[in-house]
Structure 1
Amino acid sequence: MSEQEQRLGGRALVADDHPLTREGLSLAARAALPGVSVVAVGTVGEASEAAARGPFRMILLDFHLPDANGFSGLLTLQMHAPRTPVVLVTASEEPSLVEAARALGAAGYLFKSLPLDALAERLRRIDAGQTAFPPINGAAPQLGDLRARIETLSPAQRGVLIALADGRSNKQLARDLDVTEATIKAHMTAIFRKLGVTNRAQAMLAVQPLLGAAPR
């Protein structure tokens, strides 16, 4: 099968808690990705379950889902589908959020205010291996070093990092992520080293600009 044939078809995942927006994003995905079928869900949990059941060509993720805190939805899906481009679609147009999404490895950051054809055009770019971010005026320079550090984390380490924000113990993290406590400790040691911190509190303080929820 040729590379072009492999790019045709497949599935796209749309995660948004508003039915009308889900339908609009589904239409944009079908317009942008030839032959794609769309799976539409309303929560990060449902999206994670769908991602665990099979590969997706692209994931379109609402930034403000009921079971997400800041960028936790992005980090969770990156852990479950590390080779799938995840595109954040949101009404939040703050430059700091755009820069944070780029730092965390999102494939794009698209505004819900974009017309359908503009959304589809950007999704085509992402499907071709590019990224799609709006121009940033006055981007937060303080995210530069943090961006570089976050990019060194593996998907599993990012998953542990976001889980830490809930204040769960190592035993709880191991159970929730279905790994051993020894694995959690190893991930945390690597996270602390890469972030340049020595404990959980310092780690949470360091990444608060990325994990904190933005206003709706």
Structure 2
Amino acid sequence: MAEDGRRLGGRALVADDHPLTREGLAMAARAALPGVSVVAAGSIAEARALTQRSPMRMILLDFHLPDARGFSGLLTLQMDAPTTPIVVVSASEESRLVEAARAVGAAGYLFKSLPLDDLAERLRRVDGGQRIFPPVAPADAAGLADLRARLASLSNAQRAVLVALADGRANKQIARDLGVTEATVKAHLTAIFRKLGVANRAQALLAARPLIGRAEP
């Protein structure tokens, strides 16, 4: 333990496909997490390989990675590392994305425009168990509050299926991508429809798209 009571060591993962941004985020992680060893990935596939190799103390995840659509990357890493705090780091400051990240279980949402010291301070708070999100305009938050609550009731696997559904993937492809059977996918869809208060795939997509629909860079 450090003198201030914070734990030492461990590994942090920075997943971003821009080398300069990766280095900046790595510097922030080292400043925030005493004794941490930082590893880097440029894609979700690389990030998965690293998280499956050894546990991570924290994951810093760029929202726009080449092999991720919307929050599919976050949800995939949540399944691989369910106890690791994942912080979304993005150049986008849209309230919709901030609220979506909160709804699907991110530990925080940080803007890439923040100074290094501010990034480190927020990561330090996440490491201490807090969830850190920028303020959202009351009108935006109110409009998404009910849907956010419904999405928060979904399990990680159900969220992953919903995001895959939003990408237009069929049950067979979803099953292959998530490493489960088609029967499992159908069971998840049934639970998703019930929790979202909808009757079918089309209604689920319409209900959830404001939060998890694909966002363009």
Which TM-score applies when normalising by structure 2? 0.91
Identity %: 74
Residues 11 and 57, structure 1, Cα contact 8 Å, conserved in 2: yes
Q: Structure 2: 5+ residue runs without aligned partners? A: none
1:36-55 matched pairs, under 5 angstroms: 36-55=36-55
Deviates more, 1:21-30 or 1:136-145: 136-145
Q: Report the Cα distance in structure 2 between the residues aligned to 1:21 and 1:64, rounded to whole angstroms.
A: 12
**3-state DSSP of counterpart to 2:99:** helix
Q: Report the Cα distance in structure 2 between the residues aligned to 1:137 and 1:183, rounded to whole angstroms.
A: 38
Deviates more, 1:43-52 or 1:199-208: 43-52
Q: Report the Cα distance in structure 1 between the residues aligned to 2:179 and 2:158, rounded to whole angstroms.
A: 14
Per-residue displacement from partner, 1:56-101 (whole Å, max 9, x unpaired)? 1111011111222222222222222111111011111122221221
Per-residue displacement from partner, 1:24-47 (whole Å, max 9, x unpaired)? 101111111111111101112221
1:192-203 matched pairs, under 5 angstroms: 192-203=193-204
The 4+ residue runs of structure 1 with deviation greater than 6 A are: none
Deviates more, 1:97-106 or 1:124-133: 97-106
Residues 11 and 55, structure 2, Cα contact 8 Å, conserved in 1: yes
1:46-195 matched pairs, under 5 angstroms: 46-140=46-140, 141-195=142-196
Tell me the C-alpha RMSD between the 2 structures: 1.9
Relative to structure 1, is the Cα distance of residues 120 and 168 closer, same or farther in structure 2, using a 3 angstrom cutoff? same
Cα drift, residue 5 of structure 1: 8.6
The residue type paired with residue 180 of structure 1 is: T
Q: Report the Cα distance in structure 2 between the residues aligned to 1:102 and 1:115, rounded to whole angstroms.
A: 22
Deviates more, 1:187-196 or 1:69-78: 69-78
Relative to structure 1, is the Cα distance of residues 88 and 148 closer, same or farther in structure 2, using a 3 angstrom cutoff? same
Q: Report the Cα distance in structure 1 between the residues aligned to 2:139 and 2:53, rounded to whole angstroms.
A: 37
Number of aligned residue pairs: give it: 214
The corresponding residue for 1:22 is 22
**3-state DSSP of counterpart to 1:64:** coil
Cα drift, residue 52 of structure 1: 2.3
Which TM-score applies when normalising by structure 1? 0.92
The residue type paired with residue 203 of structure 2 is: Q
Q: Structure 1: 5+ residue runs without aligned partners? A: none
Deviates more, 1:138-147 or 1:56-65: 138-147
Cα drift, residue 169 of structure 1: 2.5
